[in-house]
Amino acid sequence: KDIMNNNKYVKILNSNYVICNLTSVKSNIAINIKIERGRGYFPVIQRKGSQKKIGLIFLDVCFNPIKYVSYSVKTIVFGDRDDVDSLTIVIETNGIIDSKLAFITSSTILAEQFSIFMDLSSIIK
Write out pLDDT tens, residues 20-49. Answer: 888 988 988 888 877 777 766 667 777 666
Q: DSSP assignment of 89-115, as one string? A: EEEEE-SSS-HHHHHHHHHHHHHHHHT
Write out pLDDT tens, residues 48-95. Answer: 666 667 777 777 666 778 889 999 999 999 889 888 999 999 999 988
User: Do residues 85 and 76 make contact, with C-beta atoms less than 8 angstroms apart?
Assistant: yes
Question: Domains of the chain, with CATH numbers?
Answer: 66-122 (3.30.1360.10)
Instruction: Give the closest residue to 67 by CA, choosing from 51, 96, 83, 91.
Output: 91
User: Do residues 22 and 29 make contact, with C-beta atoms less than 8 angstroms apart?
Assistant: yes
1-5, 101-105, 117-121: range with highest mean pLDDT: 101-105
User: Do residues 88 and 71 make contact, with C-beta atoms less than 8 angstroms apart?
Assistant: yes
For the entire predicted model, the pTM comes to 0.49
